[in-house]
Amino acid sequence: MSRKEERVVATVTFVVAVIALYASSVGFNLSKRPPVSPLNRCINNPRQIDCATIQWAIENHKDTNAIPTWSDLVPYVKNSLKCPSGGTYTLGSTSRMPTCSIRDHNFQ
């Protein structure tokens, strides 16, 4: 092998090693994400329920005092929204946020 070919091989090997090192560090960082706390998940769920309630009211021509049932909101919510700490949500009207039965989970 000539010196030029050796340099090309060395350069390619170095680039592949750098890419592999970067890819392994990215994978490691993604696997080490901190878990979302139950409180934060519970705070986010009423926001999603509220958005589903508003969308339901708009599409069904409801006024601001209308309160949907859980079955009304099923088409508008992707995942089952349950309080991770065991609380239950009370639906509100389109002008009022839903609440959780656990007092510390309500930040309105």
Reading the block at residue 78, the tokens are 């992707």
Q: What is the pLDDT of residues 6-34, one digit of tens each?
A: 777 778 787 777 777 676 666 655 555 66
Using CA atoms, how far apart are residues 90 and 36, in angstroms rounded to an integer? Answer: 23
Listed by start position, the domains of the chain span 1-33, 38-105
pLDDT at residue number 42 = 81
Q: What residue type is assigned to position 97 of the chain? A: M
Cβ pair 52, 80 in contact under 8 A: no
Comparing 47 with 29, the larger pLDDT belongs to 47
3-state helix, strand, coil split of the chain in percent (to 5) is 55, 5, 40
Instruction: Compute, in degrees rounded to 10, the torsion defined by CA atoms 61, 66, 69, 72.
Output: 10
The mean predicted confidence, pLDDT, of the chain is: 79
Q: What is the mean pLDDT of residues 75-80?
A: 81
Kindly tell me if the per-residue pLDDT of 108 is higher than 60.
Answer: no
Cβ pair 49, 67 in contact under 8 A: no
